[in-house]
Amino acid sequence: MKRIGLMVLMMLLVLTVSVYAGGEQESSEGPVFEVSSNVTEEGQVELLGKLFQRFVDEYNAENGSNYSLKFVSGQGMDIINTRMSSNNKPDIFSIDSPADSNEFAGSGLLLDLTEYAEQYSWDETIFDWAYSLAKVDGDVMALPFGYEGMVIWYNKEIMKELGLDAQSIDTLPEFEAAMKKASEADYIPVMLGSQDWPWAQEWYLSILYSYTGRDRVKKTIEGVEGYAWTDEAFAETVALYESWHDKGYLADGRSYVLTSDDAINLFTNDRALFKLEGTWAPYWMMPLEEADQNKIGVMLHPAINDIEEPHMPLAVGNMWCASSDTEHPELAAYLLDRLLDQDIQSEFLDVGYDLAPMQINESEFEGLIPVVEDMWNVVNGALADGSFGYTTWAFYPPETRVYLYEGIVNVLEDKITIDEYLSEMQRLNQKELEQGFNPVIPAAN
């Protein structure tokens, strides 16, 4: 009896505490405005929380309102999907790509921001190519944020040791010669790990397909007559990728066995010449020791044919959207617009977060660690003439895209032929077009 009594007492106690703990956040006075972001890194979480709080405070001061902010982080696409199908939607939130925001807009879940975009003159601030990704049927449905591009990183010391010069590796023969040299010297030519992050495969394929021909990719996705994924040009590209895998140039034939962390570790431990990753890579470079940081160089991937020059396939890393259910659209639009402030861009750089896709003052790029500064030089240089390429996650239809990076492993494993792989991609692309997928692919220069 005593024991039962004890248990009941404990249960009551714990229940009260849990109710108290659960209900803590109800003690705010004004309406609650919820911002949901997908960042998980400590520095980024802290910065975003701080910035949004400041923006909300300034809004309250200007308008005499008393909103209180609820900022949550670590909300990936799976969580957002679940929440958007319920009644517990955040007011503004960030999602992964334009394809996602298109899907959400198609289901009527996003707030039409067109009038606010006009009010804040976004069309003058944001890069054209990025801005077009945010529109659905001419209406602005999201704020494109965080542009990232595909580049290739290299180990300066190994490069020197092999007697190579990064600046002069521009063409396919030069690139393959470099990989061969690295391989013979017992280094892994190109490091890539997709075991726990299958999306890593599409990093490389974004480059390769874009380099196959930007105009070709655009027309293929749009379903223009006479263009298909099964075309010879794409088959050649996939064959090229497969040949690198077979020769062991690509992570020693283990690109889908190694995790992304393995790939990073191997690269920073001087086992590989090149590392394939995008312009977000600084997030793992910044915690490194200075000596290790200075070993890293960056460049645009060499060309693979005579059709395209080295360029940077681009993506928008985040789409900040407002829920169509939000009761505070003005605040939502205000907060989104504040993300375009010039003076916070350097703070984003400091924590390795994305930058707003707009012209950013030079002064914001000062005081960066050398490798990051190098990278932004490469990026700004590549974008100087407005030229860019297409990444899969920003521009391709969702199912085709998922098959792209899942199916390629089967090709590398010789489970399916290149033809079968490309045929399936074509089939899915067609299917999605028929089901209403609307490609938004600005023409590259």
DSSP state of 64: T
As measured in angstroms, the least distance from the Cβ of 441 to other proteins is 19
Question: Long-range contacts of range 227-234, CB-CB < 8 Å, 24 or more positions apart?
Answer: 228/426, 229/422, 229/423, 229/425, 229/426, 229/429, 230/419, 230/422, 230/423, 230/426, 234/209, 234/422
Q: Which is nearer to other proteins, 29 or 225 (CB)?
A: 29
Q: Shortest distance, CB of residue 107 to other proteins, whole angstroms?
A: 3
| CB 289 to other proteins: min, Å | 9
Residue 18 amino acid letter:
S
Q: How far is the CB of 208 from other proteins (least distance, A)?
A: 20
d(CA 439, CA 426): 15
CA distance 406 to 201: 8
Q: Where are the alpha helices (DSSP H) in 227-357?
A: 232-246, 260-268, 282-285, 290-293, 329-338, 345-350
When the beta carbons of 32 and 172 are compared against other proteins, the nearer one is: 32
Closest contact distance (angstroms) between CB of 187 and other proteins is: 13
Beta bridge partners of 93: 36, 321
- Closer residue to other proteins (CB): 213 or 397: 397
Task: Please classify residue 137 by burial: count the beta carbons closer than 10 Å to its beta carbon, then call 0-12 exposed, 13-18 middle and 19+ buried.
Answer: exposed
Within 13 Å, how many C-alpha atoms sit on residue 370's CB side?
11
120/393 with CB nearer other proteins: 393
Enumerate residues 6+ apart whose C-beta is below 8 A from 146.
316, 317, 318, 353, 354, 355, 356, 357
The smaller minimum CB distance to other proteins, of residues 82 and 243, is found at 82
Nearer to other proteins, 17 or 239 (CB): 17
> Shortest Cβ distance from residue 42 to other proteins (Å)?
5
CB of 75: closest distance to other proteins in angstroms?
7
3-class DSSP state for residue 167? helix
Q: Which is nearer to other proteins, 207 or 258 (CB)?
A: 258
Least separation in angstroms between CB 175 and other proteins: 24
Those residues with Cβ within 8 angstroms of residue 133's Cβ, 6 or more apart along the chain or in another chain: 98, 144, 316, 319, 394, 440, 442
Residue whose C-alpha is closest to residue 332's, from 148, 78, 140, 146: 140
147 versus 256: smaller Cβ distance to other proteins: 256
The distance of closest approach from Cβ of residue 284 to other proteins in the complex, given in angstroms and rounded to an integer, is 5
- Whichever of 54 and 415 has its CB closer to other proteins, that residue is 415
Do 415 and 215 form a contact (C-beta atoms < 8 A)?
no
**Token pair of 433, please?**
């077009």
Tell whether the torsion through CA atoms of 227, 229, 234 and 235 is positive or negative. Answer: negative
Q: What does the angle CA 419 – CA 423 – CA 425 come to, to the nearest 5 degrees?
A: 120
> Nearest approach, Cβ of 225 to other proteins (angstroms)?
27
Nearer to other proteins, 77 or 224 (CB): 77
C-alpha closest to that of 115 among 316, 293, 404, 322:
322
d(Cα 49, Cα 437) in Å, to the nearest integer? 35
